[in-house]
Amino acid sequence: MSIVLFRFLWPFWLFQDASRGNRFDRAAAYQHNRDMRIYLPGYLLKWMLSCALCLAITFGLDSMAAAQMPQASLWALMAAGSGMMFAGGVCVLLLTTYIYIYLSRQR
């Protein structure tokens, strides 16, 4: 079950290392990566939805924390954790977008 979730969310398992091997192995790995780039927009959509969900949860938990006393509460800690997941998701989005553009433009 965990490998299915990993492959559903993590786009980088599709790609091969194009920096190792002789010249023909690197060229074959690069061509494989160019062929696999067509799956990246689907992963971008999944990560955008995940980031939107994390951001909504962050705002919801933050408003619940603001409604309570000004001391550090469990709601504030959960909002911070959700915000960190949002920040990590944005990093994955940026990296995936860069890889998609790079593989689409470079020959």
Report which secondary-structure segment, H or E, holds 70. none
Q: Using DSSP, state whether 103 is helix, strand or coil.
A: helix
Q: Residue 107: what pLDDT?
A: 66
**Identity of the residue numbered 15:** F
Q: Say how many domains are in the chain.
A: 1
Has residue 31 been placed in a domain?
no
**Residue 8, in any domain of the structure:** no
Strand, helix or coil for residue 4: helix
**Domain-embedded: residue 80:** yes
Which residues, given as ranges, of the chain have pLDDT below 50?
none
Please check whether residue 73 lies inside any domain of the structure.
yes
What's the one-letter identity of residue 3? I
Residue 76 lies in a domain: yes
d(CA 93, CA 71): 34
Q: How far apart, in Å, are the Cα atoms of 65 and each of 9, 56, 73, 83, 107?
A: 30, 14, 7, 14, 51
Residue 9: predicted pLDDT: 86
Distance CA 51, CA 1 (A): 22
Distance CA 75, CA 27 (A): 51
Range of the domain at 79: 41-105
27 part of a folded domain: no
Q: Token pair for residue 88?
A: 């990590």
